[in-house]
């Protein structure tokens, strides 16, 4: 690197970074790369845990349905993951039910799902693989866990800004 050379921000679209807030373009690119890495990880971790062939949404749904060993409604699952298309979650539940990982029922008009013993065991194995392959590796980075929690909180706050901007964009 030559003396004094300054690198441009790492972004996927320089024309967007040329606006009033280039750091947001850096965040968007980092989120995109991280999103795809995370989805690839989830699918491969679940396969290593003995359940191959699931899509990332199904892995999310299985963990959510297993969360606190409490039945979840279809609308709760959509709300948790900010998924507007109910069919995406419904399809994931059908696939998980076909594999014997969840059972579905009805509470009034609402579809519900609960993890089966097989689903809970898959989540336990996923946890074990995650601890061995991911957590041990990330711990070696000596990241500040409080700072990571702050980053997560900031990401959730920013997601609300994207949601508001999306609503505004529909009225243009």
- CATH code of 24-166, in short, is 1.10.10.10
Q: How confident is the model at residue 3 (pLDDT cuts 50, 70, 90)?
A: low
Q: What is the pTM of this model?
A: 0.90
What residue segments make up the domains of the chain, in order of their start? Answer: 24-166
Closest CA to 114 of 158, 76, 171: 76
The pLDDT value given to residue 9: 82
Higher pLDDT, 19 or 155: 155
Mean pLDDT for 123-146 is 97
Distance of alpha carbon 102 from alpha carbon 95, whole angstroms: 9
Phi then psi for residue 116, to 5 deg, are: -85, 175
Q: Say how many CA atoms lie within 13 Å of 159 toward its Cβ.
A: 11
Percentage of residues of the chain with pLDDT beyond 70 = 97
What are the tens digits of pLDDT across the range 15-34?
988 889 999 999 999 999 99
What are the tens digits of pLDDT across the range 6-15?
788 888 988 9
Distance of alpha carbon 40 from alpha carbon 172, whole angstroms: 35
């Amino acid at each position: 690197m030559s003396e004094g050379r300054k690198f441009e921000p790492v972004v996927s679209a320089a024309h967007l970074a040329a606006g009033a807030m280039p750091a947001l373009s850096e965040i968007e690119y980092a989120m995109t790369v991280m999103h795809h890495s995370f989805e690839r990880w989830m699918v491969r971790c679940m396969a290593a845990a003995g359940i191959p062939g699931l899509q990332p949404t199904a892995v999310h749904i299985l963990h959510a349905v297993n969360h606190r060993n409490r039945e979840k409604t279809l609308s709760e699952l959509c709300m948790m993951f900010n998924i507007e298309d109910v069919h995406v979650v419904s399809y994931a539940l059908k696939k998980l039910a076909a594999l014997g990982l969840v059972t579905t029922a009805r509470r009034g008009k609402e579809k519900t799902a609960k993890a089966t013993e097989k689903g809970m065991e898959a989540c336990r194995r996923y946890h074990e693989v995650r601890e061995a392959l991911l957590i041990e590796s990330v711990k070696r980075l000596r990241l500040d866990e409080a700072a990571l929690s702050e980053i997560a909180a900031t990401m959730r706050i920013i997601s609300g800004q994207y949601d508001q901007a999306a609503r505004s964009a529909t009225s243009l």
